[in-house]
Amino acid sequence: MQGKKQRERYRRLDRAERAAIQSGLDKGRSCRQMARDLGRSPSTVADEVARNRTVSKGPGKGERVRDAPEDACPKLLSWPRCCNGCRHLRYRSCSRRWRCEYSAARAQALADAELRESRIGVDRGEAEFERIMGLIRYDVARGLSPQQIALGRAGQIGASPSTIYRWISRGYAGMCDLDLRRKCGYKPRSRAEPPRPSAHGGARSFSAFMGLPEEGRAAACEMDTVTGLKSDRRCLLTLYSRPFRFQLALLMPGKTAAATESVLDMLERAAPKAFRRLFSLLLTDNGAEFADCAGIERSALDPAAGRCSVYYCDVRQSQQKGGCERNHVELRKLLPKGRGISFDRLTGRDCAVLMSQLNSEPRPSLGGMCAIDMLLAALGADGRELLDALGVEKVPYGELDMTVGAVEADRRRRGEGPLMP
């Protein structure tokens, strides 16, 4: 027990002890009083103050006191060896041009720096160190790790694995971390591939679409398809009007280019004025059902004239028509996946019910209005012509049902079987 107390007595001073010494100096306490409180030898406290006091005024300010000048205060030649607690300094009556003080923070920094500097360099002679690094280089080249080297050559090297790692990391004997297989791993990161150009050429690319006037892009219509079961032949063609958040869902007999053209022809014949105002600029993806851009743009009323312009998103960049994709989330509330709903059983009336519910829900992005109200407010009689042609009508808020139950209830009223098995 006595040996343990003696070892504790001669351990290094820590930050708290240095703070206590500074406080004692400011209060004018003696060296023995502070040493007794700290459980230290009086010489330890005295040496600490003398070694780590710093210049507070005069040449070398902030540096450790090496030698006091000849005109220094005589009181600095003995305890406390610094100006801490001096009454002349306290009452601003000291006219000395050179002063020193003891600061716990500065003393700790000086002690830490001294400890670091004492550990710089290799604790070996030059010739011996060259021999040791030669052995380490030889063993590393054989694929041995620093742990294995430290164990296998304990008597020849006398260094721990961490020391060998440090020597290699510092570049001694021309070595580096690249020589250690486990220290430097190689794992190339995956890089995003640049978007592939559309097969429809630059004139119909998304870049060309973005080059159009801003008001034209804002009024564009986004076109896509929605599929049901894998065994289904039928699918839905969706047309999403950006300004009004209005979306059509039209039944297609198949997911082909000819089917897309026939549905657009039907829509143009049913409401030609609304078609020109809503669908004159189309943005779609690179699906096979949209491959015939000439057929999409050719008018069903006048084959020699065009009815719209079509542009294509970049390959695998569906977010470029994000409005349509987001609105499909609402559509899937009425025709959810994983419920066994076959699109082959859908009818035109089912699509009308679906569009009525979908476009009657209030939208925060429209200030609480629904898409049907926005369409009628902007297009007037042309919008009414389109809704009547497709059998779409506004559903009162109290009767809204954004579930498959809305379609199933209408089928029951018509005497048809359920969609879901």
> Is residue 245's pLDDT more than 70?
yes
Task: Calculate the average pLDDT of the chain.
Answer: 90
> Is residue 70's pLDDT more than 70?
yes
- DSSP for 120-139 reads -S-SS-HHHHHHHHHHHHHH
Beta pairing, strands 99-101 & 221-227:
unpaired
The overall pTM is greater than 0.85: no
Helix (H) or strand (E) holding 165: helix 161-169
> Residue 170 CB: number of other CB atoms within 10 A?
11
Residue 344 confidence (pLDDT) = 93
> Would you say how long the chain is, in residues?
421
- In tens, the pLDDT along 325-338 reads 999 999 999 999 88
**Is the distance from CB of 331 to CB of 238 less than 8 angstroms?**
yes
- Dihedral-angle region of residue 194 (phi above 0 means left; psi in -120 to 50 means alpha; beta otherwise): beta
> Is residue 94's pLDDT more than 60?
yes
Chain-centre distance of CA 213, in angstroms? Answer: 33
Residue 8 confidence (pLDDT) = 54
**Is the distance from CB of 149 to CB of 157 less than 8 angstroms?**
yes
Give the mean model confidence (pLDDT) for residues 353-361.
Answer: 95
Instruction: State the Cα–Cα distance between residues 259 and 117, nearest whole angstrom.
Output: 82
Helix axes 126-141, 161-169, angle to 10 degrees: 90
Structure tokens at 180: 């250690």
> Residue 289 CB: number of other CB atoms within 10 A?
23
> Is residue 5's pLDDT more than 60?
no
> Is residue 1's pLDDT more than 70?
no
- The residues pairing with 237 across neighbouring beta strands, listed in sequence order, are 225, 250
- The gap between the terminal CA atoms of the chain, to the nearest Å, is 86
> Is residue 150's pLDDT more than 60?
yes
DSSP 8-state symbol, 64: B
From the number of C-beta atoms within 10 Å of its C-beta (0-12, 13-18, 19+), residue 166 rates as: middle
